[in-house]
Homo-oligomer: A and B are copies of this chain.
């Protein structure tokens, strides 16, 4: 695809070469995110960080990524304050707001809303989540993390064994990630979930059609065996008939130190899109793994900044100029990356 000026709305826009281009630019962003240097390549540019649904983390991550490139951020954090509640169309909102910035990041609770908004916008729009539909930067940061973790083990995405655990029916994250991974070859997917929360058939069929292996199981133990990556998702109590049923599920689909040691390979990477529930009786990913070197969950959020910087640099077409506008950092930065 042509990145300059493009809207980034869906993972289905990308070819494998596009994904690899994004990852290449993300790599080049590392010294800036890690504060080895700073850059002002977007000095004077304005991001419209339009969140019509709350999401502190994604909002701050995008805003921070733009600041790290030297740009300014204008924000909205609430749909209630917006004219959309007065019956304004997404077309009008998109046309108006696009007069206030050089690029827009948008989250909105309604599927398709960001695409509709983008049709009226005169500047590039990045989808930061449109309800149950898409959240492409999350899938990209997940796959980018997989790539880096495997690389440090001299492995590659091609041919990897990936297990996904939890509510695979409703999880926007695992749907988009599956779709992205499917651009690579020879993947073995293991889908671990209760029967009622299985991965939608159109997704598993599509994966098989593209030549990947898909194993579906309700059994955590056999499912965990022999994977390079285990990707867990949040237990959503509201999806179940009763709390009792949800608790049963939690007992069966939980990862902690003991289970990891017993069933996973010693170098299996542990991932989760976060937030995870930290309450003793509800956590799908136990805190006793917090110091484990294979726990990649915080590397995921750190990598999110790199991937978002890359999306900005590509759509605003400044990749080649980032280093030229760079300088030394002169404040305290002994971060423990």
A contact set with B: CB distance below 8 Å = 4-5, 35, 38, 40-46, 48, 54-57, 59-61, 63-64, 67-68, 70, 72-74, 76-78, 80-83, 86-89, 91-92, 95-102, 122-124, 234, 274-279, 282, 287, 290, 298, 301-302, 305, 315-318, 321, 327, 329-337
Contacts and interface: CB of A to CB of B under 8 A. Distances in A.
Contacts of A87: 275, 277-279, 282
Given A82-B56, A282-B87, A301-B99, A92 B331 contact: no
A22 to B, nearest CB: 16
A56 B40 contact: no
Contact of A321 (B77, B81, B83, B330): B330
Nearest to A88: B275
Contact of A64 (B74, B82, B274, B330): B74
A141 to B, nearest CB: 12
B67 A72 contact: yes
B83 A74 contact: no
A70 B44 contact: yes
Copy number of this protein in the oligomer? 3
Given A42-B331, A87-B277, 7 more contacts: A54-B80, A63-B74, A86-B277, A87-B278, A88-B276, A92-B274, A123-B335
Contacts of A81: 54-56, 77
Contacts of A77: 77-78, 81
A92 B57 contact: no
A5 B74 contact: no
A73 B74 CA distance: 8
Contact of A97 (B60, B92, B290): B60
A99 B57 CA distance: 11
Which among A56, A87, A123, A321 has the greatest number of chain B C-beta atoms within 10 A?
A56
Contacts of A316: 331-332
B99 A83 contact: no
9 closest Cβ pairs, A-B complex: A54-B81, A89-B278, A83-B275, A88-B275, A38-B44, A87-B277, A317-B332, A64-B100, A316-B331
A95 to B, nearest CB: 5
A102 B331 contact: yes
Given A102-B333, A122-B336, A274-B96, A54 B67 contact: no
A35 B274 CA distance: 38
B331 A5 contact: no
B337 A122 contact: yes
A46 to B, nearest CB: 5
B54 A44 contact: no
Nearest to A53: B81
